[in-house]
Amino acid sequence: MLFNRRCKEATAVILKKNILLSFGRQKQANRDADLLIKFGVLQTAQYPEIEETSVHNLSSKQLTEVQTKVLQRGSGFNTTDADPIIFTASSENLGKPATLTVAGLPLL
């Protein structure tokens, strides 16, 4: 009788431990899922998608004298002997972020 009661108590303790472990695992899995969602939101907010292609109709652009002076001063571009199309293209690329590739690393 005493052995039977101790066996039941040991079984009850083991069941309680298993229930607590299962509850803890479920709680940790829920927390990990929430953190993955938050990480995904932060990652997309931190690295917004950059538009890769941009098309400019350089033939229709005519810069005023003031715009030319501002761009010449800001970019350090020599406008006296520059081709207008090349000058316009280089001035438009000033504000565009550059991406560095593995092939371009030795050129630095």
- pLDDT tens, residue by residue, 18-64: 999 999 999 999 999 999 988 888 877 666 666 666 655 555 667 77
Q: pTM of the full predicted structure?
A: 0.35
Q: What are the residue boundaries of the structural domains of the chain, listed by start? A: 1-47, 58-96
- Residue 97 vs residue 37, higher pLDDT: 37
Query: Residue 107 gets which letter from DSSP?
Result: G
Q: Summarize the confidence of residues 5-29 as an average pLDDT.
A: 87
| pLDDT value at 77 more than 80 | no
Q: How far is CA 91 from CA 32, 34, 95, in A?
A: 47, 45, 8
What pLDDT is stored for residue 62 in this prediction? 72
